[in-house]
Amino acid sequence: GAGVSQSPSNKVTEKGKDVELRCDPISGHTALYWYRQSLGQGLEFLIYFQGNSAPDKSGLPSDRFSAERTGGSVSTLTIQRTQQEDSAVYLCASSAQRGGGETQYFGPGTRLLVL
Amino acid sequence: QKEVEQDPGPLSVPEGAIVSLNCTYSNSAFQYFMWYRQYSRKGPELLMYTYSSGNKEDGRFTAQVDKSSKYISLFIRDSQPSDSATYLCAMSPIQGAQKLVFGQGTRLTINP
């Protein structure tokens, strides 16, 4: 079966430009997460979507970052006016909401480089 | 101080050695502890999942949690070159919590 997919796999952009990163979760998974992984660092939580509930945006580092999830499936993370410090791997994960717990399944990530 | 501390390594050991990977944490509310393995240019994959204190074994892997010391470990027996990866610990206060808190990850190389 298909896992979590992300596109593009790599993105190089110039400082000040906007970028959009896409995540396709596992079919049927109601929860979707975005994380950022900087070089040599662990994963930093960004945002969480669960079903039709309001997203938990508490991890977004600035108002340049936003995300949406359309139709409870595909999600797009948008970074406006990119800065060099935004360079990182952006990882998406999804999980099924079950009473017994939620294993998060990760996609391969989008490697963003801001020049 | 970070909530979860993990030695980033790198750690290099010969094939067949026993590997010990560790994390310490400061939040006593953490109840669920996970180890993820991340191969180069791939997303993390869940390796082990434990609740509260104690040991859990799965093949060559053993996860150990000591809540009194706020210390968790992952042991790999008979290490193989295919175990070469970055290992990330993660934890949460409740089961299936939306925000996992991750350590920095330890980069491990098993030399043939």
Burial class (CB in 10 A: 0-12, 13-18, 19+), B54: exposed
Q: What is the mean pLDDT of residues B14-20?
A: 97
pLDDT in the model for residue A63: 96
User: Within an 8 Å CB–CB cutoff, is residue B42 touching chain A?
Assistant: yes
pLDDT in the model for residue A50: 86
The DSSP letter of residue B82 is G
Q: Which residue has the higher pLDDT, A25 or B2?
A: A25
- Report the gap between the CA of A104 and the closest CA in chain B (Å): 8
| A109 HSE (CA, 13 A, CB side) | 21
pLDDT exceeds 80 at position B94: no
pLDDT in the model for residue A1: 56
CB-CB under 8 Å, B104 with A42: yes
Residues of B in contact with A97 (CB under 8 A): 96
Task: Give start and end residues of each alpha helix (H) in A1-115.
Answer: none
Best of B99, B104, B106 to mutate (most A CBs within 10 Å, chain A): B99
pLDDT tens, residue order, chain A (115 aa): 589 999 999 999 999 999 999 999 999 888 899 999 998 778 999 999 988 788 889 999 999 999 999 887 999 999 999 999 999 999 999 988 654 456 889 999 999 999 9
Average pLDDT, chain B: 92
User: Within an 8 Å CB–CB cutoff, is residue A104 touching chain B?
Assistant: yes
Cis peptide preceding B8, ω within 30 of 0: no
Q: Are strands B11-14 and B106-111 parallel, antiparallel or unpaired?
A: parallel
Q: What is the pLDDT of residues B32-89, one digit of tens each?
A: 899 999 999 899 999 998 888 889 999 999 999 999 999 999 999 999 999 999 999 9
User: Within an 8 Å CB–CB cutoff, is residue B72 touching chain A?
Assistant: no
